[in-house]
A and B are shown apart, each in its own frame.
Chain A
Amino acid sequence: MSTIDDKKQDQANSQHEYDDFTNEKLLAGHEFDGIRELDNQLPPWLKYLFYGSIIFAASYLTLVFVFEDENIIQAKEYQNEMAAFIEDEEAAEEDETAAPVIRTQEEIMASGQATFSKICSVCHGKFGEGLVGPNFTDEYWIHGGSRDNMHEVITTGVIEKGMISYKNILTENQIQDVITYIQSLQGTNPPNQKAPEGEKYVPESEEETAS
């Protein structure tokens, strides 16, 4: 049985038992419900992995506590990320000499529709029929129906009604495209339309051809 007392242990020590399969030394007296234990050392690689991880930890903590490293202290990390972005942006602005790209009407409409379904449809309905936001398919406009009026609403927002500013979310091209797309919705007469709001807007002829 498995109890250890001094005599037994001494006896066992003098005549080591060995595992049949591996020929490794079994620990004397270590038997628990038939389970024996071998007297093996730790695998060396595991030991060195442990030492390595302790060295890593010590260096990392030194970087944080002593050097306040800017790649670990997150406020500094964020400042650097934002500074790098602003630098990039300024550099990009300087060489903005590229010729304007000429795009087909289809491309403009596709881009406008993409923006509309990503962003606008959440409040104005999938087909522009109006939801929380007003209906785009009728002839009535709360803040005016010209391209300039729409541009104004998109870039500054109507915050008291829940329309946020998209100045820093959409590019100028995307804004122009989505306005074109919204204008195209007029008269499409989708189901579940929201009642007209605002003033009826009659376009002046020159407006239609803008940009």
Chain B
Amino acid sequence: MELQKFTYDNKITRDFAVATMVWGVIGMLVGLLVALQIFIPEMNFSLEYTTFGRTRPVHTNAVIFAFVGNAIFTAVYYSMPRLLKTNMYSKLLGKIHFWGWQLIIIAGAITLLAGYTSGKEYAELEWPIDVAITIIWVIFGINMFGTIIQRRVSHIYVAIWFYIATWVTVAVLHVVNSIEIPYSLLKSYPVYAGIQDALVQWWYGHNAVAFFLTTPFLGLMYYFVPKAANRPVYSYKLSIVHFWSLIFIYIWAGPHHLLYSSLPDWLQALGTTFSIMLIAPSWGGMMNGLLTLRGAWDKVRRDPVLKMFVVGITAYGMATFEGPMLSLKTVNAISHFTDWTVGHVHIGALGWNGMLTFGMLYWLIPRLYNTKLYSTKLANVHFWISTLAIIFYAVPLYIGGITQALMWKEFTPEGFLAYPNFLETVTQLIPMYAIRAFGGGMYVLGMLLLIFNVVKTAKQGQLVKEEEVEAPALQTQSVGKKSTESWHSFLERKPIRFLVFSTIAILIGGMFEIIPTYLINSNVPIISSVKPYTPLELQGRDIYVREGCYNCHSQMIRPFRSETERYGEYSKAGEFIYDHPFQFGSKRTGPDLAREGVKTGRIYKPNAWHYNHFIDPQKMNEESIMPKYPWLAEKDINLKSTAPKIRAMKKLGVPYPDNYEHQANDDLLKQAEEIAQNLREAGIETESTKEIIALIAYMQRLGTDIMKPQEEPETEEE
């Protein structure tokens, strides 16, 4: 058989590996900063750009899309040509993919710090960047399928099944969740509102975990674990069963992020049940990874690469058991809105994604540079530091999360809340936050050891830019299914058909959940007294989104006595129909704000309190961990944006009167002057055009609509 000569491009793999490490350090350092800011509010250094509400999205986006993203591409660009015995389809597309992705990351970091955010978790980037991500993702797809089509191997290996599912699902999730109407060069409103926005967002958010943090890493595992251990994969049959069940079931589980919210019960039930059904498919991946190591356990003792893989895969198994448990309503009633969730995701992030990436890099870099690892000892040290770091990180958050939830729910024998002041439940957690930051710091230290080791390794070797190889050409195959081959084996040599079937598998769940939520009215019962925001409140709401208040404050009162006692009537779906985007939040570092404006409510505060509190929360309560926002009292409301905002909202179906955009600023100024006047009466001199006035107007509107009599003209008070 004639052998064909071709080359593997190692340079692009090396570039993605370098980007993985650079963004890894940056993303983790921002994570450390955020971990300190949460209990030392001064850590924003009095800059608006570095307040927690803006740095936390930078951390999450950097570690997910920059660190893990580049790790995925490293694995794909290294393993795919080798598994398919061909070069990557196009070097140029590879370069565009590489630089395009890095530019997206830089643009993302800058815009997030500058306050341009869509206000949807893990999808914060604004519309121009969303467009760029789509283009680069398509380029990646062309390069990937181009490579698959020109392969010299008849069947595609399980790692590539996972890459295919990853590509198509991320594309679908990103596009559907990012449909938005721009009202300026950098800002937009999502087309969905309220619980519909929440459903789409968490369908996206949950499956970003599934198809960005999980499936590509399973592909990575299926290549690098058997390679590093030099052992056969435990079970091909298990690969088939867990691949299809995983991608089909995962997509349904999104609503478990909205348990006990005003999402309809049927959706919550689907979220719970499909999460439980995910345990076995997830563990299928874990078992296939761990059992592949049979016969290599003596090697695991010595080799830091395999050690990291073992901890990573075990962390995956733990996180994929914990996740379904957190999806049970009884557990979720305690865990949700607390640090428990943060601990849970970091088992996955630091354990599964981090450790697998580290293992891959320690294995890969010496091969790219045709040398040995500079120091195996140092890699072992890194292994132990990271493993301990995960424990120091997660355990305090589990303790803190459960402690806080129990404090929220505790009643005195007389039937009053035992801790009526929310802050009491926060100050309890400070020591836990300090230990967590220590754990995070250790993890960053480990990352620095990795970089040192890699740089030294690269220096002692020479990059093999092009690896020359040869393989026989692929012989023509029979078009139809042969009688001797199984149905799945047939599918493995028909990659486009494979893509189509994967697409069908991942579309069913989403369609089943999202379409009825739009078409069936009973899912969002109408509350006639719920009206659109006034122009001033809308401006205030956009400031709320810009500052990332949702990172610490929820707007979703769950139907528990402990919550209705603390905050007021529980939240109803019909209250959020004009909320583009929804701002339910997922974590209560501060109290819920859904009924902040209700005058007869439990948490009502006068305008003057809000004013003083925004400028200096520690003045109102010295133990508060909220950062100061003095610039809100200095910056003017952007009046020019009012008309385009109202126009965009009208396009989205928000019922403002005809031509209201021309009158909006008059109404805005009138309402602002009333608030400023009220503040003056309380002894606070301020101009009515400042941003703080708009934010106060929004605070005082929150949750008030359903308290008004139904179908009566709305009269806005001060």
A residues whose Cβ falls under 8 Å from a Cβ of B: 1-6, 9-10, 19, 21-22, 26-27, 30, 32-43, 46-47, 49-50, 53-54, 56-57, 60-61, 64-65, 72-75, 77-78, 81-82, 85, 88-89, 118-119, 121-123, 126, 131-132, 159, 161-162, 164-165, 168-171
Contact = CB atoms under 8 A, between A and B. Distances in A.
Given A49-B279, A131-B612, A132-B682, A74 B273 contact: no
Contact of B284 (A35, A38, A46, A162): A46
B559 A78 contact: yes
Contact of A38 (B235, B279, B329, B599): B235
Nearest to A159: B599
B526 to A, nearest CB: 17
B337 interface: no
A38 B236 contact: yes
A75 B279 CA distance: 29
B153 A57 contact: no
B416 A171 contact: yes
A164 B568 CA distance: 13
Contacts of A32: 83, 153, 157
A170 B416 contact: yes
B609 interface: yes
Contacts of A78: 559-561, 564, 570
A191 B415 CA distance: 37
A111 to B, nearest CB: 12
B277 A54 contact: yes
Contacts of A88: 415
A-B pairs, top 10 by smallest CB distance, nearest first, are A162-B606, A21-B295, A50-B280, A57-B273, A78-B559, A40-B235, A36-B232, A32-B157, A37-B236, A64-B269
Contacts of A57: 273-274, 276-277
Interface in B404-454: 412, 414-417, 420-421, 424
Interface in B184-236: 222-223, 226-227, 231-236
B612 A118 contact: no
Contacts of A121: 621
Nearest to B235: A40
Contacts of B369: none
Nearest to B262: A74
B210 to A, nearest CB: 17
Given A42-B241, A131-B619, A171 B559 contact: no
B272 interface: yes
B673 to A, nearest CB: 18
Interface string B44-62: 0000000000000000000
Interface residues on B, range: 35 or more
A89 B272 CA distance: 34
Contacts of A35: 83, 157, 222-223, 226-227, 232-233
Given A37-B239, A42-B284, A131-B619, A162 B277 contact: no
A62 to B, nearest CB: 10
A60 B232 contact: no
A75 B269 contact: no
B372 interface: no
A122 B623 CA distance: 11
B273 A169 contact: no
B467 to A, nearest CB: 12
A114 to B, nearest CB: 10
B287 to A, nearest CB: 6
B475 interface: yes
Nearest to A42: B238
Contacts of A21: 231, 294-295
A54 to B, nearest CB: 6
Contacts of A168: 416, 565
Interface of B: 79, 82-83, 85, 152-155, 157, 222-223, 226-227, 231-239, 241, 245, 260, 265-266, 268-270, 272-274, 276-277, 279-281, 283-284, 287, 294-295, 329, 412, 414-417, 420-421, 424, 471-472, 474-475, 477, 482, 484, 559-561, 564-565, 570, 599-609, 612, 619-622, 682
Contacts of B606: 132, 161-162
Contacts of B245: 50
Nearest to A60: B273
Nearest to B330: A71
A185 to B, nearest CB: 18
Nearest to A161: B606
Given A27-B236, A34-B227, A57-B277, 11 more contacts: A1-B472, A30-B155, A32-B157, A33-B227, A38-B235, A42-B238, A47-B280, A50-B277, A60-B276, A169-B420, A171-B416
A36 B682 contact: no
Nearest to B286: A46
A165 B236 CA distance: 67
Given A1-B472, A35-B226, A74-B260, A122 B235 contact: no
A164 B602 contact: yes
Contacts of B276: 53, 56-57, 60
A149 to B, nearest CB: 20
A28 to B, nearest CB: 11
B236 A1 contact: no
Given A22-B295, A38-B234, A72 B265 contact: yes
21 contacts: A3-B474, A10-B484, A21-B231, A32-B83, A32-B157, A33-B79, A35-B83, A36-B226, A38-B232, A53-B277, A56-B273, A56-B277, A64-B266, A81-B561, A119-B420, A123-B620, A132-B620, A159-B599, A169-B417, A169-B420, A170-B416
A82 B226 contact: no
Nearest to A50: B280
Contacts of B269: 60-61, 64-65, 72
Contacts of B226: 35-36
Given A40-B234, A53-B280, A9 B605 contact: no
Contacts of A64: 265-266, 269
A53 B234 CA distance: 24
B595 to A, nearest CB: 12
